[in-house]
Amino acid sequence: MKIFVVPATYNEKDNIEKFITTLEEAVFPKIKDHDMHILVADDNSPDGTGDIVKALMKKYKNLGINQGPKKGLGAAYIRTMGYAIDKLGADVVISVDADFQHDLQKIPDFVAMIGKGYDVVIGTRYSGGGSIPENWPPQRKAFSIVANIFVRTVFMKFAIHDWTGGYRAIRKEVFLKERSEMSEYNGYIFQIAFLHKAVRDGFKIGEVPFHFGDRTLGNSKIAPLSYIINVVTFVIATRIKELLFGSFGKFLVVGGLGFVVNFIVLKVLHDSSKWDPFWANLVGAGIAIFSNYNFNNLWTFKDQKISGFGTYIWKMVQFYATSAFGVIFIQSGTIFIGDKLIGPDILLHVGPLHVRYYLLYFVLGTGLLLIWNFFIYSKFIWKKTTK
Ligand code: GDD
Ligand code: MN
């Protein structure tokens, strides 16, 4: 394979020469069966980093530089990785910091993981023996750790331990698939955004634990506060979009339709056919659940569509049981507990509004019911089978 190590540089004149010689003399000789290259992603560093690289290019024929205007770390990676893949025939690109915070001796491990069939290999500081600098002040350590736990939790992707790091090997197919969606992620947020899309598309992700060293020469370019804000906004906005436009949003639409079906059947049977409201509603609810089951099967969870008559019936029984359990124990149970805890039907005064307590329990109970149903539907009834 033709593999390009792509260090990003902005004002790294103190590091770049040693960085390149370390790769050339102490790392590449350990990788026997691949064609190794370096393509520096430099944003016209005013300190002359580019000139140092150009001088070294006379000595190392597998060394190149790709320069452009400064638009941020993500933009530099997209430009330079794109150049390596489109113009130089790279099969794999490896992003790495040029300030020695990424242990270059791990590059053979990244290459080996790609060789085993992983599509993206990420360096991890938070699992399997990876670590962050001992001497960082506690608040910096805490932020680094909490940020990654936050991302893993909001995305519900616990198997990936380091979402924000910049040490990664990426197969060309992944880059080409995700590139068009990356144009708005110019800064450090590139790391999370890219990995999120690769995971979404089912690429195989591997991890290489490493010790993240401290910077000894030059300065960090990250602006911590705006980075934190970017991370939180990106992760939350992405997750909300995913839920609303993904299966959760469809599940809500199907449920809303079921509510309307229930209401119409109740009204028709009661008003026109003079049924007892209890029985009229029971039939209405039964039909609504049937409608929910089928629309969820055909639309919400169409990627896991149930086929085969036997399975269809058996899953439908489970669906009715889940729905009934939810209404009886979760929704009505919440109303019951609330009523017992705070007392009977008292009015709650919120400004000019008078709300009956049981209505609050009803809203809360219905919210919990939706979560319960969605959880059981997606994790059990329409369980994803891993490909
Ligand atoms: N071309 C280019 N353009 N390079 C840049 C830019 C830019 O706008 N900004 C930073 N770099 C280069 C730096 O020169 C360095 O080699 C590398 O990218 C990392 O930048 P640092 O400024 O040293 O970042 P850090 O150490 O604070 O951040 C590290 O941790 C972040 C959070 O986990 C990096 O590993 C980031 O990738 C990571 O997101
Ligand atoms: Mn750094």
Q: Are strands 120-124 and 168-171 parallel, antiparallel or unpaired?
A: antiparallel
The 3-class SS string of 22-76 reads HHHHHHHHHCCCCEEEEEEEECCCCCCHHHHHHHHHCCCCCEEEEECCCCCHHHH
Cα(258)–Cα(111) distance, rounded to whole angstroms?
52
Residue found under tokens 């270059």: 104
pTM, two decimals, is 0.82
E strand intervals along 235-362: 347-350, 353-356
**Contact call for residues 111 and 169 (beta carbons, < 8 A):** yes
Tens-of-pLDDT digits for all 387 residues of the chain? 999 999 999 999 999 999 999 999 999 999 999 999 999 999 999 999 999 999 999 999 999 999 999 999 999 999 999 999 999 999 999 999 999 999 999 999 999 999 999 999 999 999 999 999 999 999 989 999 999 999 999 999 999 999 999 999 999 999 999 999 999 999 999 999 999 999 999 999 999 999 999 999 999 998 889 999 999 999 999 999 998 999 999 999 999 999 999 999 999 999 988 899 899 999 999 999 999 999 999 999 999 999 899 999 999 999 999 999 999 999 999 988 888 887 666 667 777 777 777 778 888 999 999 999 999 999 999 997 654
In terms of Cβ atoms closer than 10 Å to its own Cβ (0-12, 13-18, 19+), residue 270 is middle
How many angstroms does the Cα of residue 242 sit away from the middle of ligand 1?
28
User: CB within 6 Å of ligand 1 — which residues?
Assistant: 8-10, 12, 41-43, 70, 72-73, 76, 97-99, 101, 164-166, 188, 191, 215, 220-222
Domain with CATH 3.90.550.10 in the chain: 2-220
Task: Give the closest ligand to the alpha carbon of residue 67.
Answer: 1
Homologous superfamily of domain range 2-220: Spore Coat Polysaccharide Biosynthesis Protein SpsA; Chain A (3.90.550.10)
